[in-house]
Amino acid sequence: MNLKKYVALLALAVFTIPASWAGEGMWLLNKLKQVNEAQMRELGFKLTAEDIYSLNQASMKDAVARMGGGFCTGEVVSADGLMLSNHHCGFDAIQSISSVEHDYLTDGFWAMTRDQESPTGFEVSFLQYITDVTDTVLSALPAGISEEARDSILQVIGADLERKATEGKPHILADFKVMFEGNEFYMFVYKSYPDVRLVGAPPSAIGKFGGDTDNWQWPRHTGDFSMFRIYTGPDGEPAEYSKENIPFKPKWHFPVSLDGVKKGDFTMIMGFPGSTDRFLNSDGVKLALDVEQPSRVKIRGEKLETMKEHMDADDATRIKYASKYAQIANYWKYFIGQQKGLKAQHVWDRKKAQEDDLMAWVNADPARKAKYGEMQADLSEGYAERASFEKASTYMQEGAFGSEAVVFGFRLYGLMMQLENDPKNTEKITAMADRAKASARDFWKDYDPATDQDVTAAMFAMIHKDVDPAQQPDIMATVTKKYKGDFNKWAEAMFKTSVLTDSTRLMAFLNAPKLKTLQKDMGMQTMTSSLNLYRGVLGPGIDVAQVKIDKGYRLMVAAMREKDPNKMWYPNANSTERLTYGVANDYSPADAVHYDLTTTQLGILQKEDNTNDEFVVPKRAHELLVNKDFGRYANPDGTLPVCFLSENDITGGNSGSPVINGNGELIGIAFDGNWEAMSGDISYEPELQRTISVDIRYVLWVIDKYAGAKHLVDEMTLVKKPVDVPMEVVPPAPTSATDKRAGAKN
C-alpha cells in the first residue's frame, strides 16, 4: 500500500471511530458520569464519577489546586493543607528566597517547623462548580450577525455571567470559557486562597536531574517535586498572609499509595491543562511548520546562549536568571520536538485527508452545504492572510518583547500617556509613579542589566536581519543611521542612559516624573516603536485574518460533531480543570527500540557525572543509593522506583498534577511528556504518547531518607495493600472526617 493511500485510510479511521483510545481526551468533570464512567470502570476505575466531581459531598476536585491562573497544578495530601506539585512549578518560590549565601536552588530547602515555611507570592484556587451556559449564550446571539459582532456580544455576556457569580463573594473567582471553538460555553467558579507557603524542595540536582539534555526524554530519573502548605485565616476562610493564619483544612485530601504501578494499571490525572489545538487544520499545521516554530526555536536558541554566558560567569546572575532560563529552554526544546513529531507522524497529510472527507460529507447534502460550505474557504483564506504577518509577529513576541527593558517600559507607558494628556492631574501621576516603584522593586530583584543588554542587542539584530523591513519597528532606522547598524553599540548607549536599565535613574525619575524625560529616553523610544508596530500593523493584520479563521473553525467543529454524533468528543484544553484516564504502559518509539514502564535508582547512578551540572548526584543521595537504603519505599525486588509512564493525555499546566490509581490514591506526580509525541498538542498519538511522572515513593524517599523531613511524610495518609489481605492504612490513623472517608475508600 502506498503512503498516500495509507495516510488517507488512517485519517478516515481516526476521524470516524469513537474516541476510545485509552488515554486520549481531556474530559470535563461535569460530564464524566454520562460520557466516561463506564469506560473508566472497564479500565480498572473502582470508584464513581461522583467521587471525582460532586456538588453535594467532598470529592477529589476539592484536593486539586490551580496554581496562580493555571501555570501549574497541585494536589493536597494532608488534613493540614500540605500540597505537592513539581519542582519546576516551585522554581520561582525557591529562587525568590535564594542568594549566593543561601543557595536553596543548589542545596534544597526544607522547613523543619511550620514557622520556617516561606510565603510564595502566588495563590491557589479550587473548583467549586461548573455550569453549562450554552443555551443562555446562544439564545442571546441574533441570527446572521457578523463574526465581529458575535465576539463582542460574547465578551459582554461572559463578563456579566462572571460578575453575577462573584458579586459580593470575597475570594470567589469565575471564568467564562468558550468550548468546541465557539459552539459551547461554560462557567467555572473557584475559591481562591492567597496564603501559600513553600515547605520543601529537593536540590536542583534531584528536582532537575538531567537538565535540558533529559528534558522531554525517556528514560527519566528526575525527582521533579516541591511541597507547599496552604493557609487560611483563623476562621478557616481565605486570607492574605499573616502570622496568625492557620493551615487550610481541605474537604478532601489524597491518600498516598505505597503499592506502586505495574503495566496495565488504571491511571488518571486531574489538573489544569493550558492549551491544545487538536482541531488545527492542515493550513494551521503548515504555518506552524514553515514559519512559527522555526522562528521561535531560532530566537530562543540565541537568547539562551546569551543568557547562559552571563549565568556561567556569575553566581548571583545564575540565581536571578535560573527560572527565566528554565522557562525559555523548556519550550525551546518543545518546539524542536513538535516540528519533528508533526513531520514524523505525517500530521499535515492526516489533517488534509480528514478535511477532504468532511467536505465530501458536507457537499453531499444541500442543507449541510448551505450551513457549512464556507468553512474550508474561510480557513484557507484566513491562514493565507495571517501568513503575511506571522514571521514578524513571532519575532516581535519572542525578540523585541524578549528584552526585559522593553517589557518593563510597558509598565511606564500609562504614566507617559498621563503626562502627555493630563499633566496637571498630579494626584493621578503620583499614584501611577508609586505603582511603578512597587513594580520596579520586584523587577530589579531578578534583573541583571548586563545580561539584558546583550540579549536586547541580539534580539533586535535578529529582527533586522530576518524580518521584512516594512514590518520592522522604526527604531531600526536610528540604529542603522546613528550607530551604523551596530546593535551592540546601540544597546550599550541605551543601557548607559535609560531610566529602564538603572534602578537609581528610575527612582529619581519616578520621584519627579517629566514627559520629556520619557520621550528622550532610548529605552522608552524602543518600547514605543515596538508597541506601535505591533498595535498599528501586525496586530490588526492578524486580527482581520483571525476573524475568518475563527468562523471557519466554529463551522468545522460543528460539522464534525454533527457528522459523528456518537463519538466521545472533548474540547481543547483552555486552563480549565480536566481529567484524563488510561493505563500505565511502556512503548516502542522506533524499530528495534523498546522503553520499559519504570525507571529505578540504577539509572541515576549510571548517568551520574559530577563534572556535568545536569547530572550531578548529591553526595548524600549517592551514599544512600549505593547502600540501597530505601526503607519502605523500595520495589519488591529491592530497587528504588523513580519514574513511570502512563497513556494519560496532558499538556502545559498539568505540571504537578496528581496521578491517581483506580482506588483514588496518589501514585505519582505528572511532570513531562515524551519526545516522540511532541506533536501531541495537535494530534494525539496513541501508540507513542506517554506522560512521564515521578513515582510517589521516590518523592517520599527523598523527603524522608534524603532530607530527614519525616515529619512531612508522617502528616500524610499512607496506604499499602498487603498480599492477599484487605487494604490497610499505615499510620497516622484517620483524625478527621476527610481522613475517615479517604481510609474508607481503600
Query: What's the whole-number mean pLDDT along residues 630-640?
Result: 97
What is the C-alpha separation between 288 and 282, in angstroms, rounded?
A: 10
**Amino acid identity, residue 684?**
Y
To 5 degrees, how large is the angle CA 421–CA 425–CA 430?
110
pLDDT for 112-136, tens place per residue?
Answer: 999 999 999 999 999 999 999 999 9
Whether the pLDDT of residue 551 is over 90: the answer is yes
Residue with cell 520629556: 516
What is the C-alpha separation between 598 and 268, in angstroms, rounded?
A: 17
Mean per-residue pLDDT of the chain = 93
In a domain, 511, yes or no: yes
In a domain, 386, yes or no: yes
Query: What's the whole-number mean pLDDT along residues 462-476?
Result: 97
Question: 18 in helix, strand or coil?
Answer: coil
Closest CA to 657 of 644, 648, 670, 668: 670
Query: Of 523, 552, 581, which closes a domain?
Result: 552
CB 577 within 8 A of CB 124: no
Q: What is the distance of C-alpha 102 from the center of its chain?
A: 29
pLDDT of residue 333: 93
In a domain, 151, yes or no: no
DSSP assignment of 581-646, as one string?
EEE---EEEETTEEE-SEEEHHHHHHH--TTSTTS---HHHHHHHHTT--GGGS-TTSPPEEEEEE
Please indicate, yes or no, whether residues 296 and 231 belong to a single structural domain of this protein.
no
SS3 content of the chain, % helix, strand, coil (to 5): 50, 15, 35
What is the C-alpha separation between 171 and 191, in angstroms, rounded?
A: 6
- With the C-alpha atoms ordered 25, 28, 30, 31, is the resulting torsion angle positive or negative? negative
DSSP class of 372: H
**Amino acid identity, residue 385?**
E
Task: Label residue 23 left, alpha or beta by phi (over 0 means left) and psi (-120 to 50 means alpha).
Answer: left
Whether the pLDDT of residue 743 is over 70: the answer is no
CB 61 within 8 A of CB 29: yes
Whether the pLDDT of residue 80 is over 60: the answer is yes
Query: Of 552, 581, 611, which closes a domain?
Result: 552
What is the C-alpha separation between 669 and 741, in angstroms, rounded?
A: 22
Angle (deg, nearest 10), helices 522-533 and 475-482: 130
**From 93-107, 114-128, 596-610, the region with the lowest mean pLDDT:** 93-107
Whether the pLDDT of residue 614 is over 90: the answer is yes
Query: What's the whole-number mean pLDDT along residues 221-228?
Result: 98
Q: What is the distance of C-alpha 743 from the center of its chain?
A: 32
pLDDT for 415-426, tens place per residue?
Answer: 999 999 999 999
Closest CA to 491 of 519, 464, 514: 464
Q: Does 224 qualify as catalytic in the annotation?
A: yes
Whether the pLDDT of residue 18 is over 80: the answer is no
Residue with cell 542568594: 99
In a domain, 39, yes or no: yes
pLDDT for 385-396, tens place per residue?
Answer: 999 999 999 999
DSSP assignment of 68-95, as one string?
TTTTEEEEE-STT-EEEE-TTTSHHHHH
Please indicate, yes or no, whether residues 274 and 292 belong to a single structural domain of this protein.
no
Query: What's the whole-number mean pLDDT along residues 287-308?
Result: 96
Selected residue with higher pLDDT from 739 and 548: 548
Whether the pLDDT of residue 620 is over 80: the answer is yes
What is the C-alpha separation between 23 and 268, in angstroms, rounded?
A: 9
Please indicate, yes or no, whether residues 602 and 548 belong to a single structural domain of this protein.
no
Please indicate, yes or no, whether residues 655 and 537 belong to a single structural domain of this protein.
no
Whether the pLDDT of residue 741 is over 70: the answer is no
23 pLDDT tier (thresholds 50, 70, 90): confident
Whether the pLDDT of residue 453 is over 80: the answer is yes
Whether the pLDDT of residue 3 is over 90: the answer is no
pLDDT for 692-707, tens place per residue?
Answer: 999 999 999 999 999 9
pLDDT for 158-171, tens place per residue?
Answer: 999 999 999 999 99
- Catalytic residue selected from 103, 195, 224, 349: 224
CATH of the domain at 105: 2.40.10.120
Query: Of 502, 517, 552, which closes a domain?
Result: 552
In a domain, 137, yes or no: no
- Catalytic residue selected from 655, 657, 683, 693: 655
Please indicate, yes or no, whether residues 724 and 607 belong to a single structural domain of this protein.
yes
Peptide bond into 571 cis (omega under 30): no
Residue with cell 517535586: 225
pLDDT of residue 21: 57
Please indicate, yes or no, whether residues 30 and 101 belong to a single structural domain of this protein.
yes
Please indicate, yes or no, whether residues 390 and 480 belong to a single structural domain of this protein.
yes
Please indicate, yes or no, whether residues 673 and 542 belong to a single structural domain of this protein.
no
pLDDT of residue 362: 98
pLDDT of residue 681: 95
Q: How far is CA 159 from CA 91, 153, 176, 267, 551, in A?
A: 33, 10, 8, 37, 22
In a domain, 173, yes or no: no
CB 661 within 8 A of CB 265: yes
Instruction: Count the domains in the chain.
Output: 2
Q: Does 657 qualify as catalytic in the annotation?
A: no
- Catalytic residue selected from 87, 88, 221, 346: 88
pLDDT for 487-506, tens place per residue?
Answer: 999 999 999 999 999 999 99
Is 0.85 surpassed by the pTM of this model? yes
CB 717 within 8 A of CB 255: yes
What is the C-alpha separation between 280 and 347, in angstroms, rounded?
A: 10
Q: Which residues form the domain of 698?
A: 1-123+194-278+572-746
To 5 degrees, how large is the angle CA 151–CA 156–CA 160?
145
pLDDT of residue 13: 37
- b/e for 658-687, b at 16 or more Cβ within 10 A? bbbbbbbbbbbbbbbbbbbbbbbbbbbbbe
CB 261 within 8 A of CB 695: yes
Q: Say how many residues make up the chain.
A: 746
Whether the pLDDT of residue 590 is over 60: the answer is yes
CB 705 within 8 A of CB 110: no
Query: What's the whole-number mean pLDDT along residues 246-273?
Result: 98
CB 341 within 8 A of CB 680: yes
SS3 string, 305-365, reads HHHHHHHHHCHHHHHHHHHHHHHHHHHHHHHHHHHHHHHHCCHHHHHHHHHHHHHHHHHCC
For 695, phi then psi, to 5°, come to -65, 135
Please indicate, yes or no, whether residues 349 and 325 belong to a single structural domain of this protein.
yes
Please indicate, yes or no, whether residues 610 and 693 belong to a single structural domain of this protein.
yes
In a domain, 496, yes or no: yes
In a domain, 160, yes or no: no
Please indicate, yes or no, whether residues 23 and 107 belong to a single structural domain of this protein.
yes
Please indicate, yes or no, whether residues 645 and 679 belong to a single structural domain of this protein.
yes
318 pLDDT tier (thresholds 50, 70, 90): very high
**Segment holding 580, helix H or strand E:** strand 578-583
Q: Does 88 qualify as catalytic in the annotation?
A: yes
Query: What's the whole-number mean pLDDT along residues 597-619?
Result: 97
CB 110 within 8 A of CB 94: no
pLDDT for 337-379, tens place per residue?
Answer: 999 999 999 999 999 999 999 999 999 999 999 999 999 999 9
